[in-house]
Structure 1
Amino acid sequence: MGSDEDRTPPAVVHDAASERFTTDVDGHLAVLDYTWRDGAMVITHTGVPAAIGGRGIAARLTRAALAHARTAGARVVPECTYAAAFMQRHGEYADLLG
């Protein structure tokens, strides 16, 4: 029997029309919402249900959003407190701050 760490994490899905990144973990939907403002990706909300908290899911969603912004050549405005704290802790994303 494998442990939870042995499993491949569920995919993060980008729904550009809804301006949202999602992942479904054990039947619970975790989300990162954003909007575009003046050419910048504004991260407005990150939500992970308590039932699946503490597994790094918000970080995975945030990394996916930041990778998308980088690929798009966009600046990022982290209005969500989680995203702001994440970007402060991970200096490799400092170039995206707008």
Structure 2
Amino acid sequence: MSDQTAATPVVRRVDARHRYEILVDGEHAGLTAYRDREDQRVFFHTEIDDAHSGQGLAAILVAQALTDVRACGMRIVPVCPYVAKFLTRHQEFADITDPVTPEVLTWLDARLGR
């Protein structure tokens, strides 16, 4: 008989790499990347590995990352299209979400060397 129980994904913040990672059975399954700008955490990229797509992992990852942002007393800036879309469906984070402005985009481009 095989074990059909799916592993519970684990989300961890990796400050040295400026990202949150999601692991399934200890294996890297995806990430959402950020840079901190004063009291704002600017999210600019989210991806889930192809081997783990279609499992709802991006939503789990972003929900836990944004919950962590709140716990840290910071604010969210959703440059990443996935994070922005997630926030339209999850108004519980509206009180800590700041708009994406040209100034934030210029700052982010300078931080990322683009």
Instruction: Provide the TM-score with structure 1 as the length reference.
Output: 0.86
Aligned-partner SS, 1:67: helix
Aligned 8 A contact 1:28 1:52 in 2: no
Cα RMSD after superposing both structures = 1.7
Give the aligned partner of residue 10 of structure 2.
11
Structure-2 residue corresponding to 1:81:
81
CA deviation vs aligned residue, 1:29-79 (integer Å, no higher than 9, x gap) = 311111111320001110102221111111111012111110111110010
Rounded Cα–Cα distance in structure 2 between residues aligned with 1:28 and 1:16: 16
Gap runs ≥5 in structure 2: 99-114
Report % sequence identity. Answer: 35
Aligned length: 96
CA shift for structure 1 position 25: 3.0
Q: Counterparts of 2:54 and 2:20 in 1: how far apart (Å)?
A: 18
**For 1:64 and 1:44, how far apart are their aligned partners in 2?**
16
Q: Which residue of 1 aligns with 2:72?
A: 72
Alpha-carbon distance, 1:7 to partner: 2.7
Structure with greater contact order relative to length (CA < 8 Å, sep ≥ 6): 1
Give yes or no for contact 1:39–1:75 (8 Å, CA) kept in 2. yes
Q: Is the 8 A contact 1:14 1:20 kept in 2?
A: yes
SS of aligned partner of 1:12? strand
CA distance in 1, matches of 2:29, 2:6: 18
